[in-house]
Amino acid sequence: MFSYIWPIALVVISNIVYQICAKSAPKGMDPLASLTVTYLVGAVVSGALFFLLHRGGNLLREYRQLNWAPLVLGIVIVGLEVGFLYAYRAGWQVSRAALVQSSILAVALVIVGALLYREHVTWTKLVGVGICLVGLVFINL
């Protein structure tokens, strides 16, 4: 059970801290300059964790397994970061920005799951999509 719960707990806790950090980024600093520090720290932490968790691990051997996904992921992560940084600078509230994007994302991923991964779209998922869309209306009133 723990192995099922801890990853989601990590995502939730990290996302809370992420939103706080994004909202607290220095207003006078260019968001892209800020992200260079963010990704430098991220690269150092990722490398340290790799070697800590994989004693005798070989990053070059791991890199030989690369496909398009990690490269595109790097690009889209920048999009996520820049989007939130500019959203907060434009005046979005932390709670509203996160809820709006999460609701739209949930609806989009039901469609992506069905089209790309042949996940079944059930009536309960469709009701959930409806609730997300109604929630968007109420969040933005």
pLDDT at 107 over 90: no
Which segments of the chain does DSSP mark as H helices, in order? 2-23, 31-53, 59-63, 68-89, 94-117, 123-139
Please write the tens of the pLDDT for every residue from 45-99.
Answer: 999 999 999 998 999 999 999 999 999 999 999 999 999 999 999 999 998 998 8
Residues comprising the chain, all counted = 141
Quote the pLDDT of residue 50: 97
pLDDT of 112 > 90? The answer is yes
* pLDDT in the model for residue 38: 96
Residue-level pLDDT at 132: 83
Q: Quick check: 25 and 104 in contact, CB under 8 A?
A: no
In angstroms, the CA 101 to CA 117 distance is: 22
Question: With 90 as the cut, is the pLDDT of residue 136 above it?
Answer: no
pTM: 0.85
**Mutual orientation of helices 31-53 and 68-89 as an angle, nearest 10°?**
140
**CA 50 distance to own-chain centroid:** 21
The whole-angstrom separation of Cα 69 and Cα 124 is 31
Block residue for tokens 């979005």: 92
